[in-house]
A and B are shown apart, each in its own frame.
Chain A
Amino acid sequence: MTASSSLPTLPGAWAQALWRRAQSWWHLLHFGAVAVVLMLSPSSYDTSRRSRTAHYIHATTWQVLPWFTVLTALLSLVLIRIVVVTAVSYGLSQYALEMVVRVLVLELIPLSAALFVTLRAGLAFNAGAAPTSLSEPPRPAPGASLQRLREGLLAQVTGNVFSVLALAVISSVVALVLAYLLVYGVSPWGLPGYARTVGRVFEPIVAFGFALKTVLFALAVAVVPAAASLEPRTQGAAASTVQPGAVRLFLVLLLIEAASLTLRYF
């Protein structure tokens, strides 16, 4: 077999790869849309499915919430201390609190919650779902049976979305409390100034962007690995050491973060 007969021509190969990529992204978007609709549909939460969803919420949030909160509190403590001490040493203490709130609450904590849930649940999900070898038959496309999607994946997707949101919200509140305690100490007299600073940071657009970014992080973490695990794999595709969906998930998170920063600061 000659090389020209065994391999497709270069433009053709590029076109095929491009087509597969487009199909893959479309599959992701379609799956995400269906998952969101199902999550928001009350009929998805009958007794058995509600129990299943509760199990996933327990597994993805309840079990990890204490030590994730402790971990983020520790990291927040270190960061707040560094920022405050540095700002005071440069005579810019009036900006320290605002910087802490912007850096920690608006940027780092939602991203760390998303990455944490990705590592714990998303990739574990992929590890369980991924075929062990290419000899396994390709998986079918999603949407073939809405009922099966509802039965199989919805609870897990809902659990992951909820986990990212809960971890981000609770850790943000803890970081805000820690920031107040580190700057003002255990004293109520700093509350008006602190509230004013928080209010200045959370302008309506910034607050909306923060909420939207966190929700998009949660959806990405829940949907991308699930969509990748159900995506039909092309026969003869090169085996990858990376779990399916991992690269795409990080790309999506990067895009969301970049878009958020761009819209907020430019």
Chain B
Amino acid sequence: MDAMNSPPEPAASNASAKPIAHVEFKAMLLLALMLVLIFSFALYVMVARGVFESTQRLVLIADDSEGIVVGMDLTFAGFPIGRVRRTELADDGKVRILVDIPSKDLRWLRASSVFTMERGVVGETRIRAYTGILSDPPLPPNSERTVLRGDATAEFPQLVAAARDLLANLGNMTAADSNLNASLGNVRTTTERLNGRYGVLGGVLGSDDNARKIITMLERTNSLLTKADERVFGKRGVMDETQVAIAQLNAILSDTRASLQKVDAILAEAQVVSSNARVASTDLGALRKEVDTSLRRITQLVDEINRKWPFARDTEIKLP
């Protein structure tokens, strides 16, 4: 009972020994500060968790909910635009992931948007949204979309099989009797020839003998060209004789031109003759007309005589 009557209170006894100014005000200040901090922090957390945001529900359908945690983000271009609120197992065995999208971020999701769930080897599972055409119609409320899975671990067996094939091919390529090895041997031979006496020519032609033949052929060709130069361009060579022939040909051409001029004059005279003949043929046409007219008159005269002749019985008229 003594302890209750005189409770141990060193701090309070010290405090009561020295009067403290505004002690109740300070205590109330501390209390108010703490309450303000607690309520502010609670409000901040609620705002941070989107309690006061107007949202639209989106349902993602997946085969497996492994790695999906309530509260995780749905991202678009790396920016979080939604939160997973609930996961549930549907009657058909599919996983339904209910995602809340804030109204201000709805513009990033369209009817043609695609959703993927990527599960890496390290790190958490991520749900991503891809929208190719932002001008498409907006995503309707309570839409259900199937999630495309991008599981890195699921690719391991295929990756290992592909790596095994690759290593086998690599082993075949690097074997002693492999084509690659033979090719490398050929390359080495070629480079040795390139470094040989005849250089690139030996490498291209395959051996030094062939290169030597080519060089010999070039030397002969060179001497042949020298001789040909003398025969063609030398004194009394082909070129000189050709020049003389060209001069003679030039004189022949001049004669031919004079002959052609004479032929041209003859042709002009023939043209005159032919025009006179045409006039003459025109006179012949008039003459023929006159003969025709005379013949027609004679015929008429004969017909008249026959008609007047008393023994004539045939009255047929024969036209010329």
Residues of A within 8 A of B (CB): 50-62, 65, 92, 121, 124-129, 137, 139-140, 142, 144-145, 148-149, 151-153, 155-156, 162, 165-166, 169-170, 172-173, 193, 195-196, 198-200, 202-203, 207, 229-230
B contacts with A: majority SS: helix
How would residues 34 to 73 of chain B score, 1 for a CB under 8 Å from any chain A CB and 0 otherwise? 1001100110110111100000000000000000001111
When distances are taken between beta carbons in the complex, the residues of chain B under 8 Å from A230 are 3-4
Question: Quick check: B34 and A53 within 8 Å, CB to CB?
Answer: no
* Count, chain B residues at interface, CB 8 A: 41
Complex: chain B residue closest to A61, CB-CB:
B30
One of B30, B48, B123 near A57 (C-beta < 8 A): B30
Question: Quick check: B37 and A173 within 8 Å, CB to CB?
Answer: yes
Question: Quick check: A173 and B41 within 8 Å, CB to CB?
Answer: yes
Question: Quick check: B27 and A53 within 8 Å, CB to CB?
Answer: yes
Question: Quick check: B49 and A144 within 8 Å, CB to CB?
Answer: no
Question: Quick check: B3 and A55 within 8 Å, CB to CB?
Answer: no
How would residues 204 to 246 of chain B score, 1 for a CB under 8 Å from any chain A CB and 0 otherwise? 0000000000000000000000000000000000000000000
Q: Does B7 contact A (CB under 8 A)?
A: yes
When distances are taken between beta carbons in the complex, the residues of chain A under 8 Å from B6 are 152
Q: Does B14 contact A (CB under 8 A)?
A: yes
When distances are taken between beta carbons in the complex, the residues of chain A under 8 Å from B73 are 196, 200
Besides A58-B20, A149-B4, A152-B4, 5 more A-B contacts (Cβ < 8 Å) are: A56-B15, A59-B12, A92-B123, A170-B33, A198-B44
How would residues 4 to 23 of chain B score, 1 for a CB under 8 Å from any chain A CB and 0 otherwise? 11111111101110001001
Determine the distance from Cα of A145 to Cα of B28 in the docked complex, in whole angstroms.
29
Q: Does B297 contact A (CB under 8 A)?
A: no
One of A51, A139, A148 near B24 (C-beta < 8 A): A51
15 residue pairs bridging A and B, Cβ less than 8 Å apart = A50-B24, A51-B23, A59-B14, A60-B11, A92-B123, A125-B11, A129-B7, A129-B8, A139-B3, A140-B3, A151-B4, A152-B3, A152-B5, A173-B41, A203-B49
When distances are taken between beta carbons in the complex, the residues of chain B under 8 Å from A229 are 3, 8
With A55-B16, A166-B34 as known contacts, state yes or no: A125 contacts B24, CB within 8 Å.
no
Q: Does B249 contact A (CB under 8 A)?
A: no
A contacts with B: majority SS: helix
Q: Which 10 A-B pairs have the closest CB atoms?
A: A152-B7, A199-B48, A129-B8, A148-B4, A54-B27, A195-B48, A199-B49, A128-B8, A128-B10, A57-B27
Determine the distance from Cα of A232 to Cα of B16 in the docked complex, in whole angstroms.
28
One of B4, B14, B70, B72 near A144 (C-beta < 8 A): B4
When distances are taken between beta carbons in the complex, the residues of chain B under 8 Å from A126 are 8
Question: Quick check: B80 and A196 within 8 Å, CB to CB?
Answer: yes
With A53-B27, A54-B24, A200-B71 as known contacts, state yes or no: A170 contacts B50, CB within 8 Å.
no
Complex: chain B residue closest to A147, CB-CB:
B4
Determine the distance from Cα of A172 to Cα of B30 in the docked complex, in whole angstroms.
16
Chain B nearest CB from A135 CB (Å) reads 14
With A58-B27, A230-B3 as known contacts, state yes or no: A125 contacts B34, CB within 8 Å.
no
Question: Quick check: B34 and A128 within 8 Å, CB to CB?
Answer: no
One of A58, A59, A153, A193 near B7 (C-beta < 8 A): A153
Determine the distance from Cα of A57 to Cα of B210 in the docked complex, in whole angstroms.
109
Chain B nearest CB from A44 CB (Å) reads 15
Question: Quick check: A55 and B23 within 8 Å, CB to CB?
Answer: yes
Q: Does B273 contact A (CB under 8 A)?
A: no
When distances are taken between beta carbons in the complex, the residues of chain B under 8 Å from A166 are 30, 33-34
Complex: chain B residue closest to A91, CB-CB:
B122
Q: Does B272 contact A (CB under 8 A)?
A: no
Determine the distance from Cα of A140 to Cα of B3 in the docked complex, in whole angstroms.
7
Complex: chain A residue closest to B47, CB-CB:
A195
Q: Does B31 contact A (CB under 8 A)?
A: yes
When distances are taken between beta carbons in the complex, the residues of chain A under 8 Å from B5 are 148, 152
Determine the distance from Cα of A59 to Cα of B9 in the docked complex, in whole angstroms.
11
One of A50, A55, A61, A207 near B45 (C-beta < 8 A): A207
One of A50, A56, A137 near B12 (C-beta < 8 A): A56
When distances are taken between beta carbons in the complex, the residues of chain B under 8 Å from A193 are 80
Determine the distance from Cα of A65 to Cα of B34 in the docked complex, in whole angstroms.
12
Determine the distance from Cα of A178 to Cα of B257 in the docked complex, in whole angstroms.
113
